[in-house]
Chains A and B, each alone.
Chain A
């Protein structure tokens, strides 16, 4: 149980276009989802926390107008990278918290590799 999926697993887009990444909790309800960004050979940096039905809370330095997060249901959160640029190329990982398993358990998706050309 507690499986989180991401789609797509990898995407290549042209500079200036927008790309949407989906994060789904497959077998549990996630009241909170988190989005992380990971550069090569570096750690995961938390970008934002999204709660179902409310606006996401962004970490300092993360542009909320560039990284649009929507958490419309208890099983789906989306991250849209708007007007992507090559510096947005990264590995994006989401995680979800299962409200029935406690406040501090997070389950991670397999990640999405974004390459902007």
Chain B
């Protein structure tokens, strides 16, 4: 079974500082990995994905994530945080073993950027 873990419920960062939101995954075979962001009472917005190729993936709003197969991690990063980055972030994984593969979400990490 596939699963994804976000070990931090909340991450607090000062504006202008780099940020990291952690994610580890478990899946049979090669994974598809995603990051989504959710603002209050809104649906999910896609940030980035890893399917294959370069381990460093660049996405929307200056975010990037690094796929690390040996550590089964896919941490989200941004070099300089903005107050507007404050939101709920979800890591998600989908396996490649089925044409009907489902996306399974982590528990979410609330990112709070202080001015």
Contact = CB atoms under 8 A, between A and B. Distances in A.
Interface residues of B, number: 22
Contact of A111 (B43, B90, B101, B102): B43
A78 interface: no
Contacts of A84: none
Contacts of B36: 108
Contacts of A107: 46
Contacts of B41: 91, 111, 113
Contact of B42 (A42, A51, A104, A111): A111
- Interface class of chain A by DSSP: strand
B43 A108 contact: yes
Interface in A66-102: 91, 93, 95
A46 B101 CA distance: 12
B43 A93 contact: yes
Interface in B80-100: 90, 94, 96, 99-100
B100 A49 contact: yes
Contact of A93 (B44, B106, B108): B44
B106 A104 contact: no
Given A43-B90, A104-B51, A49 B42 contact: no
Contacts of B107: 42-43
Interface of A: 6, 32, 34, 42-44, 46, 49, 51, 91, 93, 95, 103-104, 106-111, 113
Interface of B: 32, 36, 41-46, 51, 90, 94, 96, 99-108
